[in-house]
Amino acid sequence: MRATTTPALFTRPRNVAASVAAAALALTLVPGSASAQQADTEPVDVRLKVADAAPVEVATTPQAWPGELLEAYGVSVDGNDLVDVVRDGDEVSGERKRLRQGDVVRLTDVVKERKTKRERVRRGTVEVFTTELKPGVRKVVREGRPGTRVVVARKTFHNGEPVKYRVIKRKLVKDPRPRRVLVGREAYAVAGANGLNWGALANCESGGNPDAVNPAGYYGLYQFDLGTWRSVGGSGLPTSASAGEQTYRAKLLYKQRGRSPWPTCGRLL
């Protein structure tokens, strides 16, 4: 919403009441106004509420559009502003917005501002478990650094008060680098799988023999096939690895797939 220069009846919202009062006396003299064109038409009284100024009683031609009323009083409306007509406590729309006795014309000054700001992106932490440190000991090997993100947003104000904030675009302009921490653990420990009965599973699958070979292509304590063994980081044949490593790889497989790799013996875990 902005004030026109001709006629200069409105300047800023805080001067609305005085301007409307002055304009009401001159309305019938404004060239091109609805009152001048239809002087023999009985006017209707409406309340005009512009932005945050106090409402003012004015007269206008019956069935005039609210925009015509605002123009007659020197107030132009831009594409963002809201013009509402309230009748008997309810907002009306369409053809019903043509003015009647007792209507309230309410103009909301809408301003949309584009804001750009830079945000800090957390670096995060990556934990790497190792047997080279004592269990529970932590060692930072890289501090890392935060990243940066540019955020573009639109902030909307109604009569100077913020009512909406909407992010339009986010763009990462500097990648974060995570902090890297070594965490000591027991050899072949896998969180969430250490308390299971791996001995019972091994006895069921292979009779507890780390060198067991099934002619169908299954090896070791837990009867890995070669594809599954390699999927959990194993190399060579499972029977070439120690019993401890075989159990460790079995724990990793359990973390991935639960008991399903051992459809018969998995119930013993």
83-137 pLDDT, tens digit per residue, is 999 999 999 999 999 999 999 999 999 999 999 999 999 999 999 888 788 878 9
Q: How many CB atoms sit inside 10 A of residue 258's CB?
A: 11
Burial (CB < 10 A; 0-12, 13-18, 19+), residue 5, is exposed
Q: How many residues comprise the chain?
A: 269
Distance (Å, whole) CA 68 – CA 48: 12
Question: Tell me, what DSSP letter sits at residue 262?
Answer: S
0.75 surpassed by pTM = no
Domains 2-108 and 198-268 share a fold: no
* Backbone conformation region of residue 210, classed left if phi is above 0, alpha if psi is from -120 to 50, else beta: alpha
| Residues paired with 45 in a beta bridge | 59
Q: What's the pLDDT at 75?
A: 86
What mean pLDDT do residues 35-50 have?
Answer: 74
User: Averaged over 28-42, what is the pLDDT?
Assistant: 47
Query: For residues 181 and 5, what is the distance between their CA atoms, to the nearest angstrom?
Result: 68
DSSP H or E segment with residue 173: strand 161-174
Rounded distance between C-alpha atoms, residue 172 and residue 153, angstroms: 15
Where is average pLDDT lowest: 33-37, 74-78, 88-92, 174-178?
33-37
Q: Where are the domains of the chain?
A: 2-108, 112-184, 198-268
Q: How distant is the alpha carbon of residue 152 from its chain centre?
A: 13
Residues 254, 191 contacting (CB under 8 angstroms):
no
Cis upstream peptide for 62 (omega within 30°): no
Q: Pick 198-268's CATH classification: 1.10.3720.10, 1.10.530.10, 1.10.1370.40, 1.10.287.370.
A: 1.10.530.10
Backbone angles phi, psi at 46, to 5 degrees: -135, 165
C-alpha to C-alpha distance for 25 and 32, rounded to whole angstroms: 16
* 236-260 residue pLDDT tens: 999 999 999 999 999 999 999 999 9
Domain 2-108 classification at class level: alpha beta
What pLDDT shows up at residue 36?
43
Task: Name the CATH superfamily, with its identifier, for domain 112-184.
Answer: Resuscitation-promoting factor rpfb. (2.20.230.10)
